[in-house]
Protein backbone atom coordinates (compact mmCIF):
# COMPACT_ATOMS: atom_id res chain seq x y z
CA UNK A 1 0.00 0.00 0.00
CA UNK A 2 1.35 3.42 -0.94
CA UNK A 3 0.27 6.54 0.95
CA UNK A 4 0.91 10.25 0.42
CA UNK A 5 0.82 12.50 3.50
CA UNK A 6 0.27 16.20 2.68
CA UNK A 7 0.80 18.06 5.95
CA UNK A 8 2.67 21.31 6.63
CA UNK A 9 3.46 20.45 10.26
CA UNK A 10 6.83 18.77 9.72
CA UNK A 11 6.89 17.02 13.09
CA UNK A 12 3.39 15.61 12.64
CA UNK A 13 4.04 14.57 9.04
CA UNK A 14 7.23 12.73 9.98
CA UNK A 15 5.59 11.05 12.98
CA UNK A 16 2.68 9.85 10.84
CA UNK A 17 5.08 8.59 8.15
CA UNK A 18 7.20 6.66 10.66
CA UNK A 19 4.11 5.08 12.18
CA UNK A 20 2.61 4.09 8.83
CA UNK A 21 5.90 2.58 7.69
CA UNK A 22 5.85 0.43 10.80
CA UNK A 23 2.46 -0.74 9.58
CA UNK A 24 4.13 -1.93 6.35
CA UNK A 25 3.05 0.95 4.14
CA UNK A 26 5.16 2.94 1.67
CA UNK A 27 4.86 6.63 2.53
CA UNK A 28 5.74 9.88 0.76
CA UNK A 29 5.50 13.31 2.41
CA UNK A 30 4.66 16.76 1.02
CA UNK A 31 4.95 19.78 3.31
CA UNK A 32 2.97 22.28 1.22
CA UNK A 33 -0.02 22.28 -1.06
CA UNK A 34 1.77 22.84 -4.35
CA UNK A 35 4.19 19.96 -3.80
CA UNK A 36 1.38 17.76 -2.56
CA UNK A 37 -0.77 18.38 -5.62
CA UNK A 38 2.16 17.67 -7.92
CA UNK A 39 3.00 14.35 -6.21
CA UNK A 40 -0.64 13.30 -6.03
CA UNK A 41 -0.98 13.95 -9.76
CA UNK A 42 2.27 12.30 -10.80
CA UNK A 43 2.04 9.10 -8.72
CA UNK A 44 -0.48 6.33 -8.13
CA UNK A 45 -1.31 6.36 -4.40
CA UNK A 46 -3.81 4.12 -2.68
CA UNK A 47 -4.64 6.76 -0.08
CA UNK A 48 -3.85 10.47 0.29
CA UNK A 49 -3.90 11.93 3.81
CA UNK A 50 -4.64 15.59 3.16
CA UNK A 51 -4.51 18.46 5.64
CA UNK A 52 -7.02 21.23 4.83
CA UNK A 53 -5.04 24.27 5.96
CA UNK A 54 -1.97 24.14 3.75
CA UNK A 55 0.38 26.87 2.50
CA UNK A 56 0.63 27.39 -1.25
CA UNK A 57 -2.48 25.53 -2.35
CA UNK A 58 -5.33 24.99 0.11
CA UNK A 59 -6.33 21.43 0.89
CA UNK A 60 -9.86 22.08 -0.37
CA UNK A 61 -8.47 23.09 -3.75
CA UNK A 62 -6.26 20.00 -3.90
CA UNK A 63 -9.19 17.72 -3.08
CA UNK A 64 -11.50 19.33 -5.63
CA UNK A 65 -8.80 19.26 -8.31
CA UNK A 66 -7.99 15.58 -7.79
CA UNK A 67 -11.65 14.56 -7.83
CA UNK A 68 -12.33 16.61 -10.98
CA UNK A 69 -9.30 15.08 -12.70
CA UNK A 70 -10.55 11.57 -11.92
CA UNK A 71 -7.80 10.66 -9.44
CA UNK A 72 -8.35 7.10 -8.23
CA UNK A 73 -6.65 7.65 -4.86
CA UNK A 74 -8.87 7.68 -1.80
CA UNK A 75 -8.69 10.96 0.14
CA UNK A 76 -8.69 11.28 3.92
CA UNK A 77 -8.92 14.92 4.98
CA UNK A 78 -7.42 16.17 8.24
CA UNK A 79 -8.39 19.42 9.94
CA UNK A 80 -7.95 21.18 13.26
CA UNK A 81 -11.62 22.17 13.08
CA UNK A 82 -14.18 19.57 14.08
CA UNK A 83 -17.53 21.24 13.40
CA UNK A 84 -20.27 19.58 11.40
CA UNK A 85 -19.98 22.33 8.81
CA UNK A 86 -16.32 21.45 8.22
CA UNK A 87 -17.24 17.79 7.92
CA UNK A 88 -19.95 18.56 5.36
CA UNK A 89 -17.64 20.87 3.42
CA UNK A 90 -14.83 18.32 3.27
CA UNK A 91 -17.03 15.45 2.14
CA UNK A 92 -18.83 17.77 -0.26
CA UNK A 93 -15.55 18.42 -2.06
CA UNK A 94 -15.22 14.71 -2.76
CA UNK A 95 -13.11 13.51 0.17
CA UNK A 96 -13.74 9.88 1.09
CA UNK A 97 -13.29 10.34 4.83
CA UNK A 98 -12.64 13.07 7.36
CA UNK A 99 -10.62 13.03 10.60
CA UNK A 100 -10.34 15.97 13.04
CA UNK A 101 -7.10 16.77 14.85
CA UNK A 102 -5.91 15.67 17.31
CA UNK A 103 -6.49 12.02 16.43
CA UNK A 104 -5.47 8.65 17.84
CA UNK A 105 -2.92 6.99 15.57
CA UNK A 106 -4.65 3.56 15.58
CA UNK A 107 -7.79 5.31 14.31
CA UNK A 108 -5.80 6.89 11.48
CA UNK A 109 -4.33 3.51 10.52
CA UNK A 110 -7.78 1.90 10.57
CA UNK A 111 -9.28 4.67 8.42
CA UNK A 112 -6.43 4.43 5.88
CA UNK A 113 -6.80 0.66 5.71
CA UNK A 114 -10.55 0.93 5.18
CA UNK A 115 -10.07 3.46 2.37
CA UNK A 116 -7.40 1.34 0.70
CA UNK A 117 -9.80 -1.57 0.59
CA UNK A 118 -12.16 0.66 -1.38
CA UNK A 119 -9.48 1.62 -3.91
CA UNK A 120 -9.67 0.73 -7.60
CA UNK A 121 -9.46 -2.20 -7.85
CA UNK A 122 -10.69 -2.84 -4.34
CA UNK A 123 -8.45 -4.84 -2.03
CA UNK A 124 -10.43 -7.22 0.22
CA UNK A 125 -9.67 -7.28 3.97
CA UNK A 126 -8.42 -10.87 3.68
CA UNK A 127 -6.87 -12.41 0.54
CA UNK A 128 -6.49 -16.19 0.29
CA UNK A 129 -4.56 -18.35 -2.15
CA UNK A 130 -4.48 -22.00 -1.14
CA UNK A 131 -2.96 -22.12 2.33
CA UNK A 132 -1.57 -18.59 1.99
CA UNK A 133 -3.57 -15.92 3.83
CA UNK A 134 -2.93 -12.17 3.75
CA UNK A 135 -4.82 -10.11 6.33
CA UNK A 136 -4.64 -6.63 4.78
CA UNK A 137 -6.67 -5.10 7.60
CA UNK A 138 -4.28 -6.21 10.35
CA UNK A 139 -1.21 -6.23 8.08
CA UNK A 140 -0.40 -9.87 8.86
CA UNK A 141 0.43 -12.86 6.65
CA UNK A 142 0.16 -16.62 7.25
CA UNK A 143 0.94 -19.82 5.41
CA UNK A 144 -0.70 -22.91 6.75
CA UNK A 145 -1.10 -22.34 10.47
CA UNK A 146 2.11 -20.35 10.88
CA UNK A 147 2.59 -16.57 10.73
CA UNK A 148 5.07 -15.15 8.21
CA UNK A 149 7.68 -12.68 9.44
CA UNK A 150 7.66 -10.31 6.46
CA UNK A 151 9.36 -6.95 6.07
CA UNK A 152 7.19 -4.01 4.94
CA UNK A 153 8.46 -4.36 1.36
CA UNK A 154 7.91 -8.13 1.30
CA UNK A 155 4.38 -7.67 2.61
CA UNK A 156 3.69 -4.93 0.06
CA UNK A 157 4.93 -7.03 -2.86
CA UNK A 158 2.85 -10.01 -1.74
CA UNK A 159 -0.20 -7.77 -1.32
CA UNK A 160 0.07 -6.38 -4.85
CA UNK A 161 0.65 -9.80 -6.39
CA UNK A 162 -2.26 -11.44 -4.57
CA UNK A 163 -4.60 -8.53 -5.33
CA UNK A 164 -3.73 -8.90 -9.03
CA UNK A 165 -5.54 -12.28 -9.00
CA UNK A 166 -3.18 -14.06 -11.37
CA UNK A 167 -2.36 -11.08 -13.55
CA UNK A 168 1.32 -10.59 -14.31
CA UNK A 169 2.70 -7.59 -12.42
CA UNK A 170 5.81 -5.90 -13.81
CA UNK A 171 8.81 -4.97 -11.67
CA UNK A 172 8.10 -1.34 -12.57
CA UNK A 173 4.57 -1.57 -11.19
CA UNK A 174 5.81 -3.20 -8.00
CA UNK A 175 8.39 -0.45 -7.58
CA UNK A 176 5.67 2.17 -8.09
CA UNK A 177 3.17 0.59 -5.69
CA UNK A 178 5.43 -0.64 -2.87
CA UNK A 179 8.45 1.68 -2.74
CA UNK A 180 8.46 5.41 -2.07
CA UNK A 181 9.45 8.29 -4.34
CA UNK A 182 13.15 7.90 -3.54
CA UNK A 183 13.39 4.43 -5.07
CA UNK A 184 15.98 4.16 -7.83
CA UNK A 185 14.17 3.07 -11.04
CA UNK A 186 17.26 1.07 -12.01
CA UNK A 187 17.55 -0.76 -8.70
CA UNK A 188 17.34 -4.55 -8.37
CA UNK A 189 15.41 -4.14 -5.10
CA UNK A 190 12.30 -5.82 -6.53
CA UNK A 191 14.26 -8.88 -7.64
CA UNK A 192 15.98 -9.18 -4.26
CA UNK A 193 12.70 -8.75 -2.36
CA UNK A 194 10.98 -11.39 -4.50
CA UNK A 195 13.85 -13.81 -3.82
CA UNK A 196 13.66 -13.28 -0.05
CA UNK A 197 9.87 -13.49 -0.12
CA UNK A 198 10.01 -16.82 -1.93
CA UNK A 199 12.33 -18.16 0.74
CA UNK A 200 9.93 -17.16 3.51
CA UNK A 201 6.87 -18.53 1.69
CA UNK A 202 8.49 -21.94 1.36
CA UNK A 203 7.18 -24.89 -0.65
CA UNK A 204 5.33 -25.36 -2.85
CA UNK A 205 6.29 -22.08 -4.57
CA UNK A 206 3.50 -19.57 -5.26
CA UNK A 207 5.33 -16.76 -7.11
CA UNK A 208 6.08 -17.39 -10.76
CA UNK A 209 8.53 -15.36 -12.84
CA UNK A 210 7.17 -14.45 -16.26
CA UNK A 211 10.05 -13.96 -18.70
CA UNK A 212 10.59 -10.29 -19.61
CA UNK A 213 7.23 -9.26 -18.13
CA UNK A 214 7.21 -9.63 -14.36
CA UNK A 215 5.75 -11.85 -11.65
CA UNK A 216 2.42 -13.46 -10.82
CA UNK A 217 0.78 -15.66 -8.23
Q: What is the pLDDT of residues 95-135, one digit of tens each?
A: 888 888 889 999 999 999 888 877 656 677 789 999 999 99
The residues of the chain that CATH labels 1.10.10.10 are: 126-216
pLDDT band at 211 (very low <50, low <70, confident <90, very high): confident
Distances (CA, A) of 186 to 151, 171, 189, 196: 21, 10, 9, 19
pLDDT score of 200 more than 60? yes
pLDDT band at 175 (very low <50, low <70, confident <90, very high): confident
CATH code: domain 126-216 is: 1.10.10.10
194: which DSSP letter? Answer: H
Per-chain mean pLDDT for the chain: 87
The residues of the chain that CATH labels 3.40.50.2300 are: 2-116
For the 2-116 domain, the top CATH level (class) is alpha beta
Q: Is the peptide bond prior to 204 cis by the omega test (within 30 degrees of 0)?
A: yes
Nearest-angstrom CA–CA distance, 98 and 100: 7
Rounded to two decimals, the pTM is 0.69
Return the C-alpha torsion angle 32, 35, 40, 42, nearest 10.
Answer: 180
Amino acid sequence: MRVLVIEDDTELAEAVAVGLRRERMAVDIALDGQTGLMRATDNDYDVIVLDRDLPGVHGDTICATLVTDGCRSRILMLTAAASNDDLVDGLGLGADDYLPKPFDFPVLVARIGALARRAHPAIPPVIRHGDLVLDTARRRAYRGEGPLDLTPKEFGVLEVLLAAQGRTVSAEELLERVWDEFADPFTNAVKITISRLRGKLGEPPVIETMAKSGYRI
